[in-house]
Structure 1
Amino acid sequence: MRHVAVIGSGPAGYYTAEGCVKQFAGPDGGGVRVDIIDRLPVPYGLIRTGVAPDHQSIKAVARRYEATALSDHVRFVGNVTIGTDVSIAELLDLYDAVVLATGAPADRPLGVPGDDLPGVIGSAAFVGWYNGHPDFADLHPPLDGPAVVVGAGNVALDVARILAKTGDEFAGSDIVNHALDHLDTGQHERVTILARRGPHQIAMTPKELGELGHLSRAVPVVDPADLPPIDADAALDPGLRKSVAHLRGFAGVPADKPITVAFDFYAMPVAIEGAGHVERVIVERTAVDADGRATGTGETYAIPARLVVSCIGYRTPPIEGVPYDARLGRFANDEGRIAPGLYAVGWARRGPTGTIGTNRPDGFLIADHIAADTSDSDKAGRAGLDRLLAERGVEVVTFRDWQRIEQAEIAAARTGAPREKFVAVGEMLAAKARAAL
């Protein structure tokens, strides 16, 4: 029997569990018990609190993870904090393998003067706010003026789209009520997307760009002067070529709706200014060389802003005692191996790159490593963890408990919405307790 602890219940964690079940649960596998540990009482990580609430088709992948979670070989252990309730060293004593699937939930700092002013928010916090993450439920971002979104990827598009949508356009989504109500009071007539490089260097996919062209009260606008010669598009890969085609379609479009979503290419923020809060972003014009690197030209200008959302990437927070690569913002590892018995998977292994599906081969790779590195043992595994958590008075949430919490969220949903998420851990635990009566 192999005993495996996976820290984090997002896609990488569940794919790792699935890989371990396939590796060890067959007639010749020797058996396996996988405990998926999460500090929140609810599973699915980025699927629940990172994927845009109006992208329900993407969130549906959670049903695949549910099938793994209900396996006899896998258990969800929610409401358990690593470093507080149990340490990595203790888990290594209890399990044959400990896999860090913690993702990259921390924002990379913008790193310019004034980035600590009120009104400057990282995308992890902003996205967590409208997705109901307990850490960010009280964020209350300023929406009483123009907004600037920094970044050239899909997260920047998600943020801009959420800011620009009407309440009616959120029908069928699981955006939380506190965000929906606050967005409805917004007075941001202009949302500017700042991209350090040009249209040919974006990381925006065609689907997400296309959505901007169908908003009822907002129009996307691109300056035709920012677009490269159309003949140059032929050298792009097909997906990027489709994305650039959308940008060409936005060029020259009249700003005839209440909100303008303006793409500002070849532009990087160099300072944020304001008297006690954000008032303007100082932007430097850039030039892109043949290798795709952007450098400042010295030409600067100011963009009025009440809100700045930085969408420039994420980092994995370090864990005490685990080797960490501060330059790359992830755990130091060799193809997922950190130390004997200790592994990293997903964004915690490779940094914030790839799609949700990229985590499946990643998780199966780690399962292969565990098979190669370990053998059946008499370690205490989940029985040992249960004793330890009981001694420390930790209220563990199981997957069945989560299903009861989910049913309460579904019952509380506004008309047409799939659920109304609880946004505080105490509310989640109270819902679990009510369902147990």
Structure 2
Amino acid sequence: MRTLRAAIIGAGPAGIYAADILTKEHEGAQVDIFDRLPAPYGLVRYGVAPDHPRIKEIIKALRRVLDGDRIRFVGNVTYGEDITLAQLQEHYDAVIFATGAMADRDLNIPGAELPGSFGAADFVSWYDGHPDVPRDWPLVADSVAVVGAGNVALDIARMLAKPADEQLSTEIPENVYRGLLANRAKDVHVFARRGPAQLKFTPMEFRELSHSPSVDVLVTPEGFEIDEASQAAINKSKAVKLVVNTVLKYLEAEPTGAPHRIHLHMCQAPVEVLGQESVEGLRTERMELTGDGTVRGTGEYTDWPVQAVYRAVGYRSEALAGLPFDTAEHVVPNEAGRVLDDSGEHLAGTYVTGWIKRGPVGLIGHTKSDAAETIQCLLADLDDVAEPVATDPDAVLEVIRAAGIEPTVWEDWVQLDAHEIALGEAAGRGRIKVVSREDMIAAGRQDAMAGR
């Protein structure tokens, strides 16, 4: 069987699943997974709320893949800056892009860019200790609006409402704890454009919203609408039924007098962020269901006196150097994972998987079937793919070092991982995340500096 060398750009679940499937399907495959961060796991490490360790359990399975002898992790390398597509093509039969979606979709209403109006992705990156975002966050608002009806909106509402000390059992770094300790938010308002059957929350996450004794979840009765399409969705989907039942339980529950409150407002569409120099409020329009699951405006407006707005209306991917990009859908044009050029022809040896392929939809586990489709295309194309010019597997590392970058490798991550766990154990916690890129790299190499 022909030896196959593949580069995967992005060490999140999509990239790791692709590497796993490729090495299982092709016994001669060797895979290098590149990531711009010194650590692997992408969205699982930097996109999942720290108080959801259950979701982070997927790291155990991802780690087993990266520990394979035909898969190599190469971190601290930024595609398009430290290495180009042309350079990768000199060293690999195929290049697979699995760069995900970490930018915020725009909320196209007046005032959305006022100071005090924040993108969800930026806030998530802050509380998850991402090395490339500021260490401080201005948590000075007493009343906050969260726009969106998905799990990210729930995560943001929960992180803003729960007291900092309740987060000390998680892996949050010290700077995040200090920031949350200064948080002034008492009321967090979550706004959804449609009704209860159209909420995109997963049932478990929605139920967990009320698990803090310091937080009351209050649902505004106005907006609790079930039309014909809503009822059909409830009858068809157990998950939808569970979400609607949870809404009803919150509606019926008596407030406990908790010091923090999360308010859910359905059938309320944001139309303007109010304020002159900074956020002073949010204006919404009352919507009504039309019978087919969509909504229309009623012309009835409400101004909510909030001092901060968090825009959780979805993520989007960003263009990649050397590849075509669909600016409307925010994906790389492709057919079943094969990258297509402007004329609709396949760019030989070039593939995509995950959210850069299909958009930011679906849960983490959905990326596995997505990766399988891409890998099947790659294997079907293999006879027509030219072999790379460079044959030494380590030659690509020299190209990166020539650009002034010292990549991190799997052994560095294993050491950093152990270091974070040790920090956590010293504080009676499972892990404390190291934040700065420099500190991550240094912690990963401390044994080497000691003469490893």
Q: Same fold per TM (> 0.5)? A: yes
| Structure 1 residue 269 corresponds to structure 2 residue 270 | yes
TM-score, length-scaled by structure 1: 0.94
Does 1 or 2 have the higher relative contact order (CA < 8 Å, sep 6+)? 1
Residue 26 (structure 2) aligned to one of 24, 27, 30: 24
Deviation string 1:384-433 (CA, Å, 9 cap, x unpaired) is 31221132231010010111112222222263322221211111122233
What is the distance in 2 between the residues matched to 1:379 and 1:21? 22
Distance 1:372 1:52, change over 3 A: same
| Structure 1 residue 243 corresponds to structure 2 residue 243 | yes
In structure 1, stretches of 5+ residues that fail to align are 26-30
Which stretch shifts more, 366-375 or 106-115?
Answer: 366-375
| Structure 1 residue 402 corresponds to structure 2 residue 419 | no
Aligned to 1:223: 220
Report deviation, 1:124: 0.8
The SS at the match of 2:33 is strand
Aligned to 1:415: 427
Conserved in 1, the CA contact under 8 Å of 2:144 and 2:189? yes
Deviation string 1:16-51 (CA, Å, 9 cap, x unpaired) is 0001110112xxxxx111000001101000000001
* Aligned residue runs from structure 1 range 26-105, under 5 A: 31-105=28-102
Report deviation, 1:268: 1.2
Conserved in 1, the CA contact under 8 Å of 2:8 and 2:32? yes
Which stretch shifts more, 228-237 or 383-392?
Answer: 228-237
What is the distance in 2 between the residues matched to 1:306 and 1:133? 25
What is the distance in 2 between the residues matched to 1:224 and 1:306? 24
* Aligned residue runs from structure 1 range 382-393, under 5 A: 382-393=393-404
| Alignment-mate amino acid for residue 355 of structure 2 | W
Deviation string 1:193-226 (CA, Å, 9 cap, x unpaired) is 0001111111111101111222211111112332
Conserved in 1, the CA contact under 8 Å of 2:139 and 2:180? no
What is the distance in 1 between the residues matched to 2:297 and 2:86? 47
What is the distance in 2 between the residues matched to 1:423 and 1:132? 5
Which stretch shifts more, 262-271 or 407-416?
Answer: 407-416
The SS at the match of 2:286 is strand
* Aligned residue runs from structure 1 range 166-177, under 5 A: 166-177=163-174
| Structure 1 residue 156 corresponds to structure 2 residue 153 | yes
| Structure 1 residue 363 corresponds to structure 2 residue 375 | no
Aligned to 1:28: none
Aligned to 2:127: 130
| Alignment-mate amino acid for residue 307 of structure 1 | A
Which stretch shifts more, 313-322 or 139-148?
Answer: 139-148
| Structure 1 residue 315 corresponds to structure 2 residue 326 | no
TM-score, length-scaled by structure 2: 0.91
Aligned to 1:9: 11
Aligned-pair identity in percent equals 37
Conserved in 1, the CA contact under 8 Å of 2:197 and 2:243? no
In structure 2, stretches of 5+ residues that fail to align are 340-346
Runs of 4+ in 1 over 4 A off after TM superposition: none
What is the distance in 2 between the residues matched to 1:307 and 1:222? 20
What is the distance in 1 between the residues matched to 2:226 and 2:34? 51
Deviation string 1:251-308 (CA, Å, 9 cap, x unpaired) is 1434422112111111111111223211111111112222322232222111111221
Aligned to 2:305: 304
Report deviation, 1:310: 0.9
What is the distance in 2 between the residues matched to 1:410 and 1:215? 25
Distance 1:294 1:135, change over 3 A: farther
What is the distance in 1 between the residues matched to 2:140 and 2:430? 26
Conserved in 2, the CA contact under 8 Å of 1:119 and 1:142? no
Report deviation, 1:379: 4.0
* Aligned residue runs from structure 1 range 107-118, under 5 A: 107-118=104-115
Aligned to 1:208: 205
What is the distance in 2 between the residues matched to 1:113 and 1:141? 22
Distance 1:230 1:367, change over 3 A: closer
The SS at the match of 1:330 is coil
The SS at the match of 2:138 is coil
Deviation string 1:96-135 (CA, Å, 9 cap, x unpaired) is 1100100001110111111111111111111111000112
The SS at the match of 2:60 is helix
Residue 190 (structure 1) aligned to one of 182, 187, 190: 187
| Alignment-mate amino acid for residue 388 of structure 1 | V
Deviation string 1:321-362 (CA, Å, 9 cap, x unpaired) is 211111111111111110211111011111011111111111
**RMSD of aligned Cα (Å):** 1.8
Report deviation, 1:380: 2.3
Conserved in 1, the CA contact under 8 Å of 2:197 and 2:226? no
The SS at the match of 1:134 is coil
What is the distance in 2 between the residues matched to 1:65 and 1:229? 41
The SS at the match of 2:8 is strand
| Alignment-mate amino acid for residue 366 of structure 2 | T
Conserved in 2, the CA contact under 8 Å of 1:224 and 1:252? no
Conserved in 2, the CA contact under 8 Å of 1:280 and 1:304? yes
